[in-house]
Structure 1
């Protein structure tokens, strides 16, 4: 029998734009993708035409999705950091588990914070709703695929073929104008589409399992990716290509089949939306809005440090225009970053740029190897401090309208809206990172969560923790157990056996295990 509360299944992937067949006519080049299973999901639910990530790279983007909070406001904006968010911030699955849901995640927790053990019932490649002890318990299950991650574009031919056995092969892919039409990019785009096809096959398997278990009619299914494709001007760039995402939501009987939503939405909206759809309270501190109740006409995104490449950009999108502000216009948009600089699309663009410079400097010839658009991606320095694009008319962002008199009103409106958002939410990305680290880790040490405190009354054990923002977990598994299953403490316990209690706070070290004897009767 289905539960009265809906289940939630997230199906997420990495590093793709809306290159799904169902986005044909909405996103350029989408028609090249073979995605019958996700097209079918869209036909059974709602397709969001304009969905945007909070950041153009995985850690900050996923922190926004799992907390419902803007990364620069809670400190998770720099790629590869361990932030200490404000004490009000919690991870979405904790709310579900507190409400009686079973929670699972297939290992991927790139949220810029360490995940407290009681947040998930099951965490790892093995995690699946089928592991619930009670088949009637509602669940929140997150499946993550690395199939489309940028790293998979650059495998050798044999390994690529081995990892894409079910992909629809692409004979020739269209190379968009922001990339040079060379063999490197033709191969990369062909592989990108084939990886999406393989991912579609994987997603279809999850949908089949819901049907097999009789759960499809009572399960909210959400498909999303974290940010744009893993090639220059996409991932790591404050561009439409860096932020624009596929987003599909299916809820039989609640969301009309085959519908679309055209207004801008944020992936950051997913956390409050899931809580609302399941009848749970949405915390006031979340910056995201419930998708179907959005009041704002804008979505704000941010680009901050990427590995060793320090940069700061802020971007805002309405239904038609994107306005972006670069706080360091003197820095290259493609600053050296060790990992991606070893990927062949990055190497190819740098090679062509160097070849063009030699053409110009050594031979006195005008540069002709790259177009102005392609050259702007890899420029050694200088870029416009402000960019404005009519994305509906110019989907590849080829013509910067910032500074043109006829677009002054649009630029001023979006700039003011961006300023209002940053003032309202806060922007730690404009503070020196060393100052933040000094606050988060005084004298270089990560603070510890205070140990739990106990009170026994009427045969019940009440547990508290004096650390603001902490959560409490307990287990009957001793520290010597091979595997310990932590429960989330939500109410006083009656325990006939010894238990161990531990506390966590995001950005802090957890407390030690504290044993608690059964209460006297």
Structure 2
């Protein structure tokens, strides 16, 4: 195919592979009603063992958009503002430099600032339909918040509004759901699980709308569509836990006439692999610094490039804890750096959720049973381990036989060789990437922002050649230069009032900055600026230009 493919990313939050297409692959997937995503998988490839690099959104998304391990670039702590190595670049900018129209509607959450050179179009109205002409290829991202954990715990009225498109005959009743064995069979968990499945159905309908728009525009045939979730379900022992339920995600890729319809890839892949894979499929160079592997050949076949996929958890808001985990095609090995700490420490945000509160209530009731000299009976041993005050230093699970991770094999001599092999793989990986999670966070922050002050991106240096073309450079390593002919806006962009945008690191100043790749030949007033991720942007340089015709 000589025409460059378009790329459409559709992502959601906080779900495991609970889609109908994953029936017989992931426990309980058959209970979901997801006809649009099932059809998408039927027309492309379903990845059966896709894993996030972290069991929480921002570190995971940082790895997806950079192709780099969070522990290698400093984005591993949930809610940080990292200063990654200078070579790190956000994936859409590489596409934009290659002539793609890049859009994001609207979520970023990459643990770092988003330079103005990354997106042509960002905001709630961003869309591939806003590109300048029909011949411009696009890389469009749509990130839905429908299935975010917070929606599970809405009031009845608000939940009804949030799932208003779900037909009555497709709703899940709490009495009928099947809970994973690590959850108590109580009303709060049954309600939460039924709501979780209903939210997935609502999300599937949203996906169907986007795919319908692609068909309406006659673009489906030459568009690579990718669907993924950032990590696992937003409930205890999943989101924020470095285990299978925390990191196992759905991943579907469709590319008509290239990827054979209805195929499945059985080998482990990482969401981090998406960045190098998209570049490769578009015929663009994959930067050497990316840690991800290309998981699809240009023929549409999976590469089986990963022997191991690595993930980890670090500070989760005020929870101080850390774990590292590795998966091969059968086993998961996890090393907990602080086995003396509960996996369910106090968490101001999540402790307000009914499932967290239910675990704590039942644990309290068991304490009361002990006070009466009774045997604790409110939780099973597996459920009790979720809220226990400590955890094993090491865990080994045979995921193929034990997807819920009920039986720790770390002390079983029958699996000693697998334990040793995976231990070694994890040690080698940590040494190879230079695991920044082993550095005290205060020390890491001090190296990024000496004295607590962000470093400054140097001013752009301008030279104008004899033909009036503007040449720009910036001495700050890793700086990205952008330019525009749009003057400073008198009023801030209305979305800057949204605290979410400020937290997500998006700069909205009403000006569309073009990435500087070749000398600027625009006539009139040109504004030039540089960004180094994690630094304060440079001041804007104003240049007056006048083209001079070259002599014959």
Q: Do the two structures share a fold, i.e. TM-score over 0.5?
A: yes
Q: Which runs of 5+ in 1 are unaligned?
A: none
* Superposed counterparts of 1:287-326, under 5 Å: 287-292=291-296, 293-326=303-336
Structure 1 residue 519: Cα displacement: 4.1
Checking the alignment, whether the CA contact within 8 Å between 1:3 and 1:138 is kept in structure 2 is no
2:354 alignment partner in structure 1 = 344
> 487-496 or 38-47, which moves further after superposition?
487-496
Structure 1 residue 481: Cα displacement: 5.4
1:8 alignment partner in structure 2 = 7
1:182 alignment partner in structure 2 = 186
Rounded to whole Å, the distance in 2 between the matches of 1:21 and 1:210 is 22
Rounded to whole Å, the distance in 2 between the matches of 1:499 and 1:134 is 24
* Superposed counterparts of 1:400-479, under 5 Å: 400-459=408-467, 460-479=469-488
Q: Which runs of 5+ in 2 are unaligned?
A: 297-302, 492-509
* Superposed counterparts of 1:42-441, under 5 Å: 42-167=41-166, 168-171=170-173, 172-292=176-296, 293-360=303-370, 362-379=371-388, 381-441=389-449
Rounded to whole Å, the distance in 2 between the matches of 1:519 and 1:445 is 39
Aligned residues: 518
Cα-Cα RMSD: 1.1
Rounded to whole Å, the distance in 2 between the matches of 1:474 and 1:357 is 64
Rounded to whole Å, the distance in 2 between the matches of 1:466 and 1:34 is 54
Rounded to whole Å, the distance in 2 between the matches of 1:126 and 1:239 is 36
Q: Give the secondary structure class of the aligned counterpart of 2:192.
A: helix
Checking the alignment, whether the CA contact within 8 Å between 1:69 and 1:286 is kept in structure 2 is yes
Checking the alignment, whether the CA contact within 8 Å between 2:523 and 2:547 is kept in structure 1 is no
2:494 alignment partner in structure 1 = none
Q: Give the secondary structure class of the aligned counterpart of 2:59.
A: helix
Deviations 1:30-88 (A, max 9, x none): 00000000000000000000000000000000000000000000000000000000001
Rounded to whole Å, the distance in 1 between the matches of 2:217 and 2:390 is 56
Structure-2-length-normalised TM-score = 0.93
Rounded to whole Å, the distance in 2 between the matches of 1:281 and 1:3 is 16
Checking the alignment, whether the CA contact within 8 Å between 1:3 and 1:137 is kept in structure 2 is no
Structure 1 residue 135: Cα displacement: 1.4
Rounded to whole Å, the distance in 2 between the matches of 1:37 and 1:492 is 45
2:518 alignment partner in structure 1 = 491
Rounded to whole Å, the distance in 2 between the matches of 1:3 and 1:284 is 25
Rounded to whole Å, the distance in 1 between the matches of 2:148 and 2:328 is 28
Q: Give the secondary structure class of the aligned counterpart of 2:524.
A: coil
Checking the alignment, whether the CA contact within 8 Å between 2:521 and 2:547 is kept in structure 1 is no
Q: Choose from 530, 533, 541 the match for 1:514.
A: 541
Rounded to whole Å, the distance in 2 between the matches of 1:19 and 1:308 is 30
Structure 1 residue 3: Cα displacement: 8.2
Structure 1 residue 495: Cα displacement: 2.1
1:39 alignment partner in structure 2 = 38
Checking the alignment, whether the CA contact within 8 Å between 1:56 and 1:242 is kept in structure 2 is yes
Rounded to whole Å, the distance in 1 between the matches of 2:391 and 2:215 is 51
Checking the alignment, whether the CA contact within 8 Å between 2:294 and 2:305 is kept in structure 1 is no
Deviations 1:116-139 (A, max 9, x none): 112100111100000011111000
Checking the alignment, whether the CA contact within 8 Å between 1:77 and 1:304 is kept in structure 2 is yes
> 113-122 or 163-172, which moves further after superposition?
163-172
Checking the alignment, whether the CA contact within 8 Å between 1:461 and 1:519 is kept in structure 2 is no
Rounded to whole Å, the distance in 1 between the matches of 2:234 and 2:262 is 30
Q: Give the secondary structure class of the aligned counterpart of 1:270.
A: helix
Rounded to whole Å, the distance in 2 between the matches of 1:133 and 1:3 is 21
Rounded to whole Å, the distance in 1 between the matches of 2:2 and 2:426 is 42
Rounded to whole Å, the distance in 2 between the matches of 1:496 and 1:205 is 42
Q: Give the secondary structure class of the aligned counterpart of 2:431.
A: helix
Checking the alignment, whether the CA contact within 8 Å between 1:456 and 1:519 is kept in structure 2 is no
Rounded to whole Å, the distance in 2 between the matches of 1:364 and 1:239 is 34
Rounded to whole Å, the distance in 2 between the matches of 1:392 and 1:426 is 31
2:502 alignment partner in structure 1 = none
Rounded to whole Å, the distance in 2 between the matches of 1:396 and 1:506 is 39
Structure 1 residue 416: Cα displacement: 0.4
Rounded to whole Å, the distance in 2 between the matches of 1:291 and 1:324 is 24
